[in-house]
Structure 1
């Protein structure tokens, strides 16, 4: 079995995340210090994971410093093996992502994103749980093990008070979820 290992540079990942969300991130001589300061204010984690690439190759990833789960209340980052909890609210037909939390203490207002690789396969599965009565939708992107590029991917609406499952037939080391939206009666409820 071949094991490919990657230590991800926090500076690169944060820059890509902010670029994807059209956000600014304070730059200094020591970007890891900026992230540590940010993580004093928001929930962060230090991801590490193992992905099956094919029948004989494995990809192991680890980060040098903690990364925020929710950036500027707009962009959600999820790595394989993670279950991410985002407390949110809906007012006047708009969803507001309030904060990432370590546990689901308020299930009535917590979006749940569970991302994993399927057993003994390279396929990836995302489970999204919507606690609200309204249908919601997100835009998503992903990063593969062989590139630092962010690829757009389709997203299906998550019906009110239900779960949704999204599937990809290849390994993904990070999902990026953004542009949370409450669907109105006139919105098409299609995957795109």
Structure 2
């Protein structure tokens, strides 16, 4: 498969087999993904890998506790909140991508862009290994109780979470707008 086929073929996977994801595989993929372009070679990222039953339960508790601050979640029945937590816990592995939040806005934006490139690299590399992922940026990842519970420092921010696992079915592609409709040429 060439790069264009991998880019066009990759899908966000939300339904996973209950098969563990090898930490060694994720580390190997990350060692390639970190070759993402990053200004000044700052390598602004660090990672939290959650794979154990206890770790996933902790992540689910933190997510549910933080999400309760959101009105649309607070009003849900308790049973539905537990289903939400269970869905998170049932995913084989999670990677939280954390970046240093530079005080300088320009550097902060450069670092955020670099971390996003790294996350896309990781998804493409995983796809080649039949490892599916979806990238989430739930609102609660920025809430203090969630960040504190994961050990995120004051000078850091969460870029997003990659939920990952092996899959049985590849979703159909959704159409993309031709670039000609979005291109301005001067």
Bigger RCO (CA 8 Å, 6+ sep): 2
More strand, by proportion: 1
Larger radius of gyration: 2
More helix, by proportion: 2
- Indicate the TM-score class for this superposition, using the shorter chain for normalisation: under 0.3
